[in-house]
Structure 1
Amino acid sequence: MNEPVRGLVVSHASLAEGLVQSVRQIAGADAGALVAVSNEGCGPEALQRNVLQALGDGPGIVFTDLPSGSCAFAARKLSLEREDTAVVCGVNLPMLLDFVFHRELPLPELVDRLVSKGKSSITGQCREGAHADRAVSG
């Protein structure tokens, strides 16, 4: 069996903490499975140190809020220097919930699955229909 992948949500301000707390509340995920790191008050080097420390050993995915900016730059730089580390940008709650239930998958398979889940969970419409109390089908 593969070692479970550790998730790290890195974001601006308190977004990461809110997402991680939501996942823990909804899914009951253990505290070590998904960790939050904020860039607040950090320069590039400090943020990269915080991300590296929070990832620990073993395979990991760094989820960032944006595909550019300090969080993504720190994550990408780290992934070039550290084996078994992936970066997924544009994190959302459905993606993180799927992550905590499938972290035993091989890293490449898990990343593909999470990107697909994240994209498919984004829906929209301008006007609510007659069935506003029902979930939107994909």
Structure 2
Amino acid sequence: MSEPVVGLVVSHATLAEGLVQSVRQIAGAEADALRALSNEGCGPEALQKSVRDALGDGPGIVFTDMPSGSCAFAARRLTLDRDDTAVVCGVNLPMLLDFVFHRDLPLPELVDRLVSKGKSAITGSCREVAGHGDRAAAG
């Protein structure tokens, strides 16, 4: 079996820390499975170095809050010289919860799974539907 994938959430302000703490509280995930990093106070080079250092040497996924901006740019630059690293943009809590339970999957399979999970967790409703908010969402 290959080495489990490490996840690094990189975001603006304190979003990453909040998401990682939520995953740990809900799932009891091991501390090294998922890490948090803020771009606060970092220029492009410093952020890229922080991402590299926080990710470590093994296989990893960098989760970013948005598909553009300093967090995503730093993550994408990192993948240029690391074959065992992927970037997933638009991170959400259901995606991260799925990650901690399936991080032993091969990286390409894991990335596809997480993107699908993240997208399926996004729902919406109008006022007339919201009146039945206590019912489970129709699948």
Does TM, scored on the shorter chain, surpass 0.5?
Answer: yes
User: For structure 2, which runs of at least 5 residues remain unmatched after alignment?
Assistant: none
Distance across 2 between alignment mates of 1:136 and 1:56: 39
Distance across 2 between alignment mates of 1:69 and 1:136: 33
Deviations 1:83-108 (A, max 9, x none): 20000000000000000000000000
Q: TM-score, normalised by structure 1?
A: 0.97
* 1:84 corresponding residue in structure 2: 84
Report the CA distance between 1:137 and its aligned residue.
Answer: 2.7
* 2:109 corresponding residue in structure 1: 109
* 2:135 corresponding residue in structure 1: 134
Deviations 1:28-60 (A, max 9, x none): 001100000000000001100110001101100
Q: 1:130 to 1:70 in 2, by over 3 A?
A: closer
Distance across 2 between alignment mates of 1:33 and 1:12: 21
Distance across 2 between alignment mates of 1:125 and 1:131: 10
- Stretches of 4+ moved more than 6 A in 1? none
Q: How many residues align?
A: 138
Distance across 2 between alignment mates of 1:60 and 1:82: 9
Q: TM-score, normalised by structure 2?
A: 0.96
> RMSD of aligned C-alpha atoms?
0.9
User: For structure 1, which runs of at least 5 residues remain unmatched after alignment?
Assistant: none
Distance across 2 between alignment mates of 1:63 and 1:73: 12
Report the CA distance between 1:133 and its aligned residue.
Answer: 1.0
Report the CA distance between 1:129 and its aligned residue.
Answer: 4.5
